[in-house]
Amino acid sequence: MERAEDTRSQVARLGAWVEPGEGVRWRVWAPGHKKVEVVLHGKDGRPGTSLPMQDEGGGFFSTTLAGEGAGVRYKLRVDGEGPFPDPWSRSQPDGVHGPSEVVVPDFAWTDAGWKGPDPEAQVIYEVHVGTATPEGTFEAFIPRLRALKELGITTVELMPLASFPGVRNWGYDGVDLFAPLAAYGGPEGLRRLINAAHAEGLAVLIDAVYNHYGPDGNYLRCYSPYYFTGRHHTPWGEAVNYDGEGSAVVRSLVLSNVEMWIRDYHADGLRLDAAHAILDDGTPHLLTEIAERARAAAPGRRVVVIAEDERNDTRLVRPRAQGGHGLDGVWADDFHHQMRRAFAGDCEGYYRDYTGSAEDIARTLRQGWFYEGQESLVHGRVRGTPASGAEPWQLVLCIQNHDQVGNRAHGERLGADVSPAAFRAMSTLLLLTPYTPLLFMGQEWNASTPFLYFTDHNEELGRLVTEGRRKEFASFARFSGDTVPDPQAVETFTRSKLDWSEAGRPEHAGVLALYRELLRLRATEPSLKEHRRGHFDARPTGTHSLVLERRGPGGALHVIVNVKGTLQHRVPANAELVLWSESPRFGGTVTQEPLRSGVVRLEGPSAVVVRIKG
């Protein structure tokens, strides 16, 4: 099915906005309904005057309230039912069940000279706003920005911000796509954070969820049955309708949202959650339109769109002219899985598809991901395409992220399952690959605080979530007899708050120093600034060790990594030691330099970096 015209031309503006000289204007899509009204609400949340909306035909209704502007609160009544919040609301000050609010994007921006991120030189820092500071707000995170810039971070990636039920959630249960969560600081707070980030030279990506919408506070069906479809199915239930009857408006919901984040909030791009579950049989695919709409929303500024996608498919990053979707990057999780298998011994669930051998880690590093068309035992089918169709900087690698931490029963970070030495070795390899590294907040000092799965649903749904969470882990041997923390408990949320004071403690300060030095090298070393294929290699040097070679002007850098046991690895005679992860200044205990007489000697998990001049 090929679409005859661009979605933007099919659907005019929806929601509420201020029309200069006229007042507040509303436009609603409610096909199949005969009567729609705007119900004005006071600041106390109580309903007041109702305004009838005029039927424009095609399921659209509109009206104007003269002489009013930002701050007007309202709901919508549909054929006498409701009133309900506006599904295109730009602000939900009292939560997803409360009145919607009219807002105006009139912030006094100071970032006119900002040109956006360099997609080939990103270091991404993933942040959950609610647990990143004691206050859990956009404003409270601003003082942390300078330290991130000094660390070597280039891009802050904010986990989903769209309004979700309650005040505690990862954000993937969002229901009001256009309304930044009030508990985080709402529209004004988000603008302040992004403006401050740009002032520090940091880009900001927003994690956007378009593959499904949350159940609690989701009023879309009150307006139209066409928002969802039975033609497709996702792991989260009924799929969003992107290719059936009425889909033009549903696509516009997403594409208008993409525009809003980039244009009205000056975001530098998006991370698309579970892009493999954005199901669309039409042409062009919604993913293609998302990328194009995002870039068009910021003329003269670079915009980055990165997908989380389990398929290992280079079509995501191929240009549209070559049959691809034209995204800028994609998460490549195989590296994480191989590293966890090797250093932590994980072998259940999707880890069954990985050996963690030095040979397989090296292969993953050479390619970018491991599965390039082999049969997956876990998926029961062939998985992946050759990664050579993507440039290394287009693949985002990590050793932990919100999923890999939070989806564990007790939300334990990597540092809880591997030794400090292993953590330092894994970090060294991650940060010196030619791929784009992603850090999960607090990783730079090996934070000990967990990141648990937490929710704040209504009592009935909350009980189901708690039961489902505990049932999910019943089959895992390591959790037998354990009580998985209750996602609904306030304590589960508060335990997940990041403790920034840890960074200065002796057991953490060395890791922070290591991260600073590795990111300084990444930004300044000539052989590490070349991120294209043909300029690196990786190979095993023994059963439990490997070397990553980076080549550039004037020579090469070798990253030698030992997983366990004893390693003696000969290097060229002109090799000079750059750093070793077990140096006391990084928290290690090895005082003697590991490079002696042309041989690198390592004991246990560790990494060494040597420079070889050309």
Rounded to an integer, what distance in angstroms lies between the CA atom of residue 393 and that of residue 145?
Answer: 24
- Joined tokens for residue 232: 């497709």
Which tokens hold the place of 49? 């005057």
Q: Which of 273, 313, 353, 486 is catalytic?
A: 273
Write out the H or E segment, with its range, that includes residue 264.
none
Report the first-to-last Cα separation within the chain, whole angstroms: 55
d(CA 582, CA 589): 6
State the Cα–Cα distance between residues 174 and 238, nearest whole angstrom: 15
How far is Cα 272 from Cα 258, in angstroms, rounded to an integer? 10
Q: For CA atoms 92, 93, 95, 98, give the dihedral sign.
A: negative
Residues 173-197 as b or e (16 or more Cβ within 10 Å = b): bbbbbbbbbbbbbbbebbbbbbbbb
Give the separation between CA 559 and CA 433, rounded to whole angstroms: 9
Question: Is position 308 annotated as part of the catalytic site?
Answer: yes
Query: Could you say which of 101, 173, 308, 353 is catalytic?
Result: 308
Q: Can you list the alpha helix ranges (DSSP code H) found in 73-165?
A: 129-132, 138-141, 145-151
Q: Is 293 left (phi over 0), alpha (psi -120 to 50) or beta?
A: alpha
Cα gap 204→209, rounded to integer Å: 16
The residues, any chain, with a CB within 8 Å of residue 588's CB and separated by 6 or more, are 421, 424, 510, 580, 581, 582, 606
> In angstroms, what CA-CA distances link 351 with 273, 372, 476, 487, 502?
21, 17, 13, 25, 31
Strands 555-562 and 606-613: antiparallel
Distances from the Cα of 530 to the Cαs of 212, 433, 439, 526, 559, in angstroms?
Answer: 38, 10, 21, 7, 15
Tokens 């995501």 appear where?
316
Q: How many CA atoms lie within 13 A of 337 on its CB side?
A: 20
d(CA 586, CA 506): 10
Contact between 544 and 428 (Cβ < 8 Å): no
Torsion sign (Cα): 410, 411, 413, 418: positive
- Map tokens 């729609």 to a residue: 36
Strand ranges (E), 480-585: 536-542, 545-552, 555-562, 566-570, 575-580
3-state secondary structure of 186: helix
d(CA 276, CA 253): 19
Provide the annotated active-site residues: 273, 308
